[in-house]
A = this chain, B = another copy of it.
């Protein structure tokens, strides 16, 4: 779990970071709002622990800036004031939870863990053709419910063929899409890869050769 602690008071920031690291979290620290935003832009955090009273850019402003992001991380706001109004304020700005100082460290940990529970990402793109199923994001291919262990190139070739959806794909196209730029244009490796792929796919034959043109499913 990756956490960003935004706190200008160095001693407190350090103490919190150490404690969280002991809880097996990966902790980055930012001392001001600008630096915090920079960090969040560059890294995908599971939770951001944000002190409300920051110099320069206020914690509230940081919070507001986050809504503009595509995937804003959950924010746990820390504040010195413990009044109910502040709590409402914090949450209305966009914080996901609120913890008044001083707090029990154990509670901080518990709330961070609660916030980190994000919805499971659904299984990504799934390509199928007949009894062949390919989960692209998981790099997982099955035929007749039998799992296949394919190498990188085999997987790439198969994916291009599946995306072509029955259209003919030339060997040059495959070279361009599966191999990198400095591939020998006269190589034989595509033919070899297609062969091993066919072998692993097993009968009945699935990859058809179109003479002089390329391959298709």
Contacts and interface: CB of A to CB of B under 8 A. Distances in A.
Interface of A: 1-2, 21-28, 39, 43-44, 46, 110, 113-114, 117, 120, 122, 124-125, 136-140, 151-153, 155-156, 159, 165-168, 176-181, 210-213, 216
Contact of A156 (B24, B43, B120, B159): B24
A21 B156 contact: no
Given A176-B44, A180-B28, A110 B139 contact: no
Nearest to A3: B180
B122 A110 contact: yes
A136 B113 contact: yes
**Chain copies in the assembled complex:** 2
Contact of A212 (B152, B165, B181): B152
A39 to B, nearest CB: 8
A183 to B, nearest CB: 9
Contacts of A155: 24
25 contacts: A2-B176, A2-B178, A2-B180, A22-B152, A25-B156, A26-B177, A26-B178, A26-B179, A28-B180, A43-B181, A44-B176, A46-B177, A113-B122, A113-B124, A113-B136, A113-B137, A114-B122, A117-B125, A138-B167, A138-B168, A138-B216, A139-B210, A139-B213, A151-B211, A152-B212
Contacts of A166: 138, 140
